[in-house]
Amino acid sequence: MSKRPEYFDKYETLKFDRTDDGVLTVRWHSNDGPVLYGAQHHQEWAPAFTDIGNDRGNRVVVFTGTGDVFIDRHGEWGAPITTPRDFDVPSWGEKMMFRRMFEIEAPIICACNGPALIHGELMVLGDINLASTTARFADEGHFTAGEVPGDGVHILWQELIGINRAKYFLMTGQHIDAQEALRLGVVNEVLEPDQLMPRAMELAHQMATYDDLTLRYTRQCFVDRWKQLFNDQVGVGYGMALQALAHLDRGWMVWDKSNEGSEHYRSLRRLYPKDRADAGEGREAKS
């Protein structure tokens, strides 16, 4: 068995495991429990994808979450975002996250283990996308929380479900359940929770029987479309700049509680009473 790569123990929000045939499993978590999303998660994704892509021992990659959710809550951001320089940090990280993911030259299987309401794009950007029957997809981190959906979700969802459906989805906080996601072509299979990872690993090990170059070059053929889309016109960089301008002009954000006392924010709650994205609200990370 090959030596355990050092980056497997480098990140606090991601866990890694690799089988002898080169199937790498990457699991999102918070303290080894379901994710309570925050700045640290976001900061680790781009460098983690870089390490994954640089390791040619990774022949097939499986992405999944922990427990019964992928990411269903946004915790307190914990980093200042009050100046353009502050906002440049997550903006750069977002650009690099997609860029480094698309540079992984190994087929990716996404196994969505439950609600993906924050950064759900991470569970539908695979070459094969699987979902638990308990999965739901939404974008609770942007428009319904007062933010511009310019971090890549504007590209992804228009491509996957069509322009009109995507605009409605992003602007109303709509939830798409697993069966509807299957009908729309967002995911390829829907499985019972206890069958999700066995099926993901079955597909991964099947792929791993192919030669290295077949795997790498097949991935390159399929991922090129995403590379073009995410750099075209209002791509992630410009989209994040638009998000920053609106954010700084507004003067508050949900994730650091600066929304408290804002009449503008209260008006949003009247429009979107079912939104559950208040900072600190919801699931606590398991210890």
Q: Which residues are catalytic?
A: 121
Q: Tell me how far apart the alpha carbons of residues 40 and 47 are, in angstroms, rounded to a whole number.
A: 12
Other CB atoms within 10 A of residue 286 CB = 13
d(C-alpha 231, C-alpha 114), whole Å:
30
Q: State how far the Cα of 254 lies from the Cα of 76, in Å rounded to an integer.
A: 8
Write out the two tokens for 13: 């929000």
Given a contact cutoff of 8 angstroms between Cβ atoms, the answer to whether 146 and 265 are in contact is: yes
Instruction: Give the strand pairing for 128-132 and 60-64.
Output: unpaired
49 token code pair: 């994808």
Q: Are strands 23-28 and 189-191 parallel, antiparallel or unpaired?
A: unpaired
Q: How far apart are the first and last CA of the chain?
A: 31
- Strand, coil or helix: what is 61? strand
Q: What is the dihedral of CA 177, 183, 185, 186, to 10 degrees?
A: 0
- Inter-helix orientation angle 153-161/236-250, to 10°: 120
64, β-bridge pairs = 27, 111
Tokens of 113: 């283990």
Instruction: Please choose, from the candidates 50, 41, 46, the residue with its C-alpha nearest in 3D space to the C-alpha of residue 13.
Output: 41
- Number of residues written out for the chain: 287
Residue 124 near residue 186 (C-beta atoms within 8 A):
yes
